[in-house]
Amino acid sequence: MENKLKKQEFRSVRNRILVFSILVTLLPSFGMGWFWFNMTRRVTTEKIEQKLVDSVGIAEREINLWFKERNYELRVFANSFVVRENLSKYRTAIESEDRKNEKQTASHLRKIGTYLTLVRNEFKVYRRLLVLDNEMRIIAASDTSDKSRPVVLPHNWKSQLDRSRFFSGDTYFIEEEFSPLVLIGIPLLLEQNSTQLGFFVMEVRLQGLLPLLMASLPKTERELGAAVMILLGKNGRHILSTAWPENHKETAVASPQVLNLLNSQLHLQGFVNDRKVRVVGLASSFDDLPWDLVIAENHDNVFAGLIQARNQIVLITILLTIIIGGAATIVASQFIIPLKALTKAVLRVAGGDLDVSVNIRRNDELGIVTGMFNEMVRRLKESQVKLEQLALTDPLTGLANRKKIMADVASNFERYLRYSTEFSILMIDIDHFKMVNDSHGHQAGDAVLIQVARIFRETLRGLDSAGRYGGEEFLIVLGKTDTHMALQIAERIRQMVDRHAFVCEDVSLHVTISVGVSGITSQDHAGVSLIGRADKALYEAKAAGRNRIVSSLDESPVPSPVGQDSL
């Protein structure tokens, strides 16, 4: 019902006026703004994409030139007289297997090593220069602390040599070096198409590529630090980045968002980088190298002007909406406010709150409706009170029904747990009640139940409660009462019932009751445990002859003064 009322409130006259005013303002404003924004964004995106494509193209050309220079230097150094002459003599001495040539062999290798060291010291771009034999073992190296470190060749170095007489390895890092490294090697031949003497290998520092990457970035973005270019190796592993400091050593693989750029190269895409910053970028792969270039720029910097214009459009639209909506609200409020008060009252009633009354301040139709609403709520409240009483009261005896008396037991048990307030329970059964029904009819039985209930009400205190547990059984909860006091109260009730003359029309009956008594103890974990002990005590009282009281503590029956069973 509440949802229905809310739906009706949405369709109210005030809301219809307000919605119409807002739509008249919003639709043209947002329509034109959206058209302009999309057109401008498309043009801006195309310009940014072309700018980044140009930067990537420049970087790729510069890196290819740098790599060709290293390749050229490699061939120059490999074809030097020192290397070829001494390596040839070394091969001749090795093949002769003459022990007298061992000193000459070592001398030839030292000369090659000295030459390699001189070249390495002259060109800082090289980490190591190596000469390998045909079994890829190091026979000469430039003088470095790790000159004997094994060479790890690419798995396809043979196929590279067969294809281009040249091979290059994957990039890697070592502990002693911040710069990423790469191996470049060529075969050493004594003469063109002659016997192969070995291999000349250079371990090249790639840190020299970083200035080339920086210079390839757009000038404005480079100065602001708003763009970054990343060189990726095999499987997307980082080689260099313009965002890293010079002493940075990175071996991580690029994020999935960056690798996704490689699937649609030279196409601008937006994504969130590892630093949780929104960027736009694109990627390009080298034709001759197993590397990829990625360039990215901060999204907010790229579209700063566009975002500012968008925000201004939104702000102006919001201001217009507020002004027009406010004017519409003032006009509608003259007759909507009374309806709103009545609607709130209806929602409260629908939610179960009947303590509602709406002030009548009008003499028109709305005032009549408000008065009828107040009268309806008053009658509804009276009906609810009656229903609550019926739901918790036994209709025959007027005592609490089983649901209510069990709730009283639970309430007293909670009070005991919280404040250690003792309470006791009386389980009462009318003796031979079936015989009363069989001998005198159910009307007589009902009269007995009603009169017993009246005795309970006359005997019990205000903090006690009595209820019909079922059939001829009654349950009495004695608040703030220990077992000893409960026995006294039970005996008083038993005596009053025993002395009472039960009359139904022209029939006079003598009725007795049996009582089971139980008091709360620390071993009780729930109220039902008291009821169970009281019920067991009641069973003992009936087994001992009825018209008596049994406590659950000792279960010793308290006999009636008459000493015999009665109807």
Report domain extents, the chain.
79-206, 217-302, 402-551
For residues 18 and 336, is the Cβ–Cβ distance under 8 A? no
What string of H, E and C letters represents the secondary structure of 316-363? HHHHHHHHHHHHHHHHHHHHHHHHHHHHHHHHHHHCCCCCCCCCCCCC
Question: Does the pLDDT at position 385 exceed 80?
Answer: no
Tell me which residues are annotated as active site: 472
More confident residue, 396 or 100: 396
Q: Does domain 79-206 have CATH number 3.30.450.20?
A: yes
For residues 517 and 551, is the Cβ–Cβ distance under 8 A? yes
Mean pLDDT of 197-217: 88
The class that CATH gives domain 217-302 is: alpha beta
Fold (topology level) of 402-551: Alpha-Beta Plaits (3.30.70)
Mean pLDDT of 197-215: 88
Mean pLDDT of 152-170: 84
Domains 79-206 and 402-551 share a fold: no
Quote the tokens at residue 130. Answer: 């190596």
Question: Does the pLDDT at position 290 exceed 60?
Answer: yes
Mean pLDDT of 235-245: 79
Quote the tokens at residue 278. Answer: 């929104």
Quote the tokens at residue 483. Answer: 């077992």
- Residue 466: pLDDT band by 50, 70, 90 thresholds? very high
Portion of the chain with pLDDT greater than 70, in percent: 86
Which of 64-78, 199-213, 225-239 is predicted least confidently?
225-239
Strand order from edge to edge, sheet including 269-272? 238-241, 227-232, 292-298, 278-285, 269-272
Instruction: Report the C-alpha gap between 555 and 45 in whole angstroms.
Output: 93
Question: Does the pLDDT at position 8 exceed 60?
Answer: no
pLDDT value, residue 103: 73
Strand 292-298 with 423-430, pairing: unpaired
**Helices 102-122 & 81-96 angle (0-180, nearest 10):** 160
- Residue 439: pLDDT band by 50, 70, 90 thresholds? confident
- Residue 538: pLDDT band by 50, 70, 90 thresholds? very high
Mean pLDDT of 460-487: 91
